[in-house]
């Protein structure tokens, strides 16, 4: 899109970096100090940033809408359908039944660990935002059932999804980097766990307590409020925990099917152009998989249990109102990141970093990290850095293990410093009931620790790989 834009002036890399820094500072002042609503502040700063970087006024709105719409295209359906599924599970009593079973099996002290491990498993085939939304009813139910702080249960689960999202295929960032670097996808999946488990355990499970010691937030009511209690009591049927497990795993199975088909198609084992492969692939796309699961949930939790269509509609509708703010703020965060990308800030910084004389694996991490800080998206920063580093990496004589380490180092850079230009930052903030300042003190720090730990492990693997 940048090639089609008209710029009234061109800024140097330093100038672009200065605009980005001022924009982020103003955004934080508006939200934290002046108490502007995050949605309004993000839209305003996106507009001012586009103008400051020289984008012609005739193109400004289209750039803003492109970033906003692009984010909503991937987030709105997932959040909306995921919220409906979560509301159905909560109102029916299914989430509570599964929580009781988890506590009975693992005990109260280990229940948060069980939820986090479940998030790790779910995070393999499903993207960060969709996985987090799917796990919300369980996270909320466990937090209400136990006397533990809500964040001690929520953050380890969120970090599990983040670690899977940046380090392990079939997520788009690592898949693209593996392809560009000529690494082995299967080996990346296997060795990727060596990055996921330590970064999740140290960056999420152990770090949550010290970071949240002075932060106390109630369990959010995004999946239902007191005004919905009447509908919930009438809809409750206490379904089997196994039915709840089925409803949580069913979309994962469909998504995994799509992943397998894509892999087989790429390898030539199946014909990717055939109608049946494309149809099954469509069914396995995350929005379609969630839609099918929601319809099944409406039937098995509502209609099949003699719940009226009117009551079922009331319960599903009650899920959408509370998440509208989440969707709009997340879209506005994507708008801000989109403006930064369209202005050329990310590309300019990445190219400047690429020209510095530093070890290749350090450069891969640094380029991804700077692009991540500049424009927000982990996937975009990982793919951008991988594309820039590709010629140097292909020119080198690296074995399979070293190539995996180079992919992981780049992925680590794409994880650091999740902040106000990252749509995932706003998802965590709103779903966990945190203020912007609280999210910066917790989630931003955790995402950075995940990235830094991943980079350290990559350095060790790269060194050991040279002896293979």
From first to last of the 468 residues of the chain, give the pLDDT tens digit.
555 788 898 888 788 878 888 888 898 888 888 888 888 988 999 899 999 999 999 999 999 999 888 878 767 887 788 778 878 887 888 877 877 887 888 887 788 788 888 888 777 767 787 778 878 888 888 888 887 888 988 999 999 999 988 998 767 788 788 888 888 877 887 888 899 999 999 988 899 889 988 888 888 876 655 445 666 678 878 888 888 888 878 887 887 788 788 778 877 777 778 888 888 888 988 788 889 999 999 999 988 888 888 888 888 887 787 778 777 877 887 788 788 778 877 667 666 665 667 788 998 899 889 888 877 778 778 887 887 788 778 877 888 899 999 999 999 999 999 988 888 898 899 889 999 999 999 999 999 999 999 999 999 999 887 776
User: In this predicted structure, what is the pLDDT of residue 232?
Assistant: 65
Distance CA 317, CA 87 (A): 9
Long-range contacts of 2-8 (CB under 8 A, 24+ apart): 2/341, 2/342, 2/344, 2/347, 5/55, 5/56, 5/59, 5/63, 5/342, 6/55, 6/56, 6/58, 6/59, 7/53, 7/54, 7/55, 7/56, 8/54, 8/55, 8/56
Which residues, 6+ apart, have CB-to-CB distance to 308 below 8 Å? none
Percent with pLDDT over 90 in the chain: 22
- Nearest to 198, CA basis, from 465, 452, 463, 464: 452
User: In this predicted structure, what is the pLDDT of residue 104?
Assistant: 82
pLDDT tens digits, 39-79 = 898 899 989 999 999 999 999 999 999 988 887 876 788 77
User: In this predicted structure, what is the pLDDT of residue 468?
Assistant: 61
Distance CA 18, CA 16 (A): 5
Query: Token pair of 316, please?
Result: 């599903």
Q: Are 349 and 377 in contact (CB under 8 A)?
A: no
Full DSSP string of 334-345: HHHHHHHHHTTH
User: In this predicted structure, what is the pLDDT of residue 222?
Assistant: 67
- Nearest to 426, CA basis, from 193, 142, 79: 79
Furthest C-alpha separation in the chain: 69
Query: Token pair of 331, please?
Result: 């879209």
Distance CA 287, CA 82 (A): 9
Q: Where are the alpha helices (DSSP H) in 172-307?
A: 172-181, 185-200, 208-212, 229-235, 241-267, 275-283, 286-301
Distance CA 204, CA 160 (A): 7
Distance CA 355, CA 227 (A): 58
């Amino acid at each position: 899109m940048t090639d089609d834009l008209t710029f009234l002036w061109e800024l140097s890399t330093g100038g672009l970096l200065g605009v980005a820094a001022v924009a982020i500072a103003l955004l934080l002042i508006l939200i934290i100090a002046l108490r502007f609503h995050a949605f309004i502040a993000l839209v305003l700063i996106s507009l001012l940033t586009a103008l400051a970087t020289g984008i012609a006024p005739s193109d400004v709105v289209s750039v803003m809408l492109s970033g906003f719409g692009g984010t909503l295209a991937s987030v709105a359906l997932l959040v909306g359908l995921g919220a409906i599924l979560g509301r159905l599970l909560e109102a029916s009593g299914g989430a509570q039944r599964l929580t009781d079973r988890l506590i009975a099996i693992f005990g109260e002290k280990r229940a948060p660990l069980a939820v986090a491990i479940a998030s790790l498993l779910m995070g393999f085939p499903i993207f960060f935002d969709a996985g987090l939304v799917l796990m919300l009813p369980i996270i909320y139910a466990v937090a209400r059932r136990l006397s533990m702080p809500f964040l001690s249960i929520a953050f380890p689960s969120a970090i599990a999804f983040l670690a899977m999202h940046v380090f392990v295929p079939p997520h788009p960032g690592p898949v693209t980097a593996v392809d560009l670097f000529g690494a082995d996808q299967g080996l990346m999946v296997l060795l990727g766990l060596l990055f996921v488990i330590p970064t999740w355990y140290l960056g999420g499970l152990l770090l949550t307590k010290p970071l949240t010691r002075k932060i106390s937030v109630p369990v959010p009511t995004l999946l239902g409020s007191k005004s919905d209690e009447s509908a919930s009591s009438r809809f409750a049927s206490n379904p089997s925990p196994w039915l709840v497990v089925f409803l949580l795993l069913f979309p994962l199975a469909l998504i995994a099917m799509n992943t397998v088909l894509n892999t087989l198609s790429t390898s030539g084992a199946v014909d990717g152009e055939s109608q049946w492969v494309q149809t099954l692939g469509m069914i396995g796309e995350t929005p379609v998989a969630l839609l099918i699961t929601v319809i099944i949930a409406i039937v098995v939790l509502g209609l099949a249990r003699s719940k009226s269509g009117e009551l079922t509609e009331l319960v599903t509708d009650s899920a959408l109102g509370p998440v509208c703010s989440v969707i709009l703020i997340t879209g506005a965060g994507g708008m801000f990141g989109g403006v930064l990308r369209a202005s050329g800030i990310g590309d300019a910084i990445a190219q400047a970093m690429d020209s510095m004389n530093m070890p290749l694996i350090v450069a891969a991490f640094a380029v991804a990290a700077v692009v991540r800080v500049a424009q927000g998206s982990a996937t975009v920063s990982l793919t951008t850095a991988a594309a820039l580093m590709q010629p140097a990496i292909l020119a080198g004589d690296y074995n399979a293990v070293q190539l995996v380490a180079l992919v992981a180092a780049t992925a680590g850079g794409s994880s650091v410093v999740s902040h106000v230009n990252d749509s995932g930052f706003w998802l965590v903030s709103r779903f966990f009931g945190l203020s912007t300042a609280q999210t910066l003190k917790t989630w931003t720090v955790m995402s950075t620790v995940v990235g830094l730990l991943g980079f350290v492990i990559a350095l060790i693997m790269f060194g050991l790989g040279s002896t293979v």
